[in-house]
Amino acid sequence: MAFILPVNNIEPSFGANCFIAPNATIVGDVVCGDECSFWFNAVIRGDVNSIRIGNKVNIQDGAVVHCTYQKTKTILGNNVSIGHNAIVHGSKVADNVLIGMGAIVMDNCEIGSNSIIAAGAVLTEGTVVPSGCIYAGVPAKKVKDISQELIHGEIDRIANNYLMYSSWFK
C-alpha cells in the first residue's frame, strides 16, 4: 500500500480517477487534480511547504517532487509529465510540459507552457524557461523552439499514455 501520510495534521488530497502505485510516497500538504498518476518509488513531499498538482499529471518511477521550508512551493500545471528519476524542487511548471528522465529542476525555476526539459538537463536555481522551448544540458540552456509536432507527438502523447497505463492498474 502507498505511503500517504499527514504532516502537522495536513493530509494529501486527490482528485478523481488518480492512480497511486503501492510503493509511492505522498506526504503533507499535497493537493492534486483529476487523472493524475504517481508511479513506483515516486516521492512527493509536501512536508516543508505546499505542492499543488493540476489535472492529468504523471510523476513517473523514482521521481521526487519537493520544496524548500518557508521559501519555495512547487506548482505543477495540467498535462505535465515528470520523467523517471527526475527531481522538481520548489518550482513552478506551467501546463503541457515534459520534464525528461533524470532532469533536475532546482528552486525558483519557472517553466513556461508547451516546453520540454530534456533528459538529464539541470535547470539551475531561478532559471526561467519561456513557453514553447526545449532546454537541454548542464546547466540547461535553450536548444530550440518547440514545434507543434513535438507538442502533440511528445508532450500530449506521453501524458495520454500515462493516463492509459494507469488504467491497467485499476
Domain ranges in the chain are 3-168
- Residue 154: name the closest of 83, 63, 87, 76 by CA: 83
Query: Is residue 100 a contact partner of residue 116, using CB atoms and an 8 Å limit?
Result: yes
How many Å apart are CA 65 and CA 30, to the nearest integer? 10
- pLDDT value at position 139? 98
Q: Which CATH class is domain 3-168?
A: mainly beta
How many Å apart are CA 10 and CA 162, to the nearest integer? 28
- Residue 109: name the closest of 133, 84, 85, 145 by CA: 133
Q: Render each residue's pLDDT in the chain as its tens digit; 170 residues.
A: 899 999 999 999 999 999 999 999 999 999 999 999 999 999 999 999 999 999 999 999 999 999 999 999 999 999 999 999 999 999 999 999 999 999 999 999 999 999 999 999 999 999 999 999 999 999 999 999 998 888 888 999 999 999 999 999 98
C-alpha atoms less than 13 angstroms from C-alpha of 167 in its C-beta half-sphere: 7
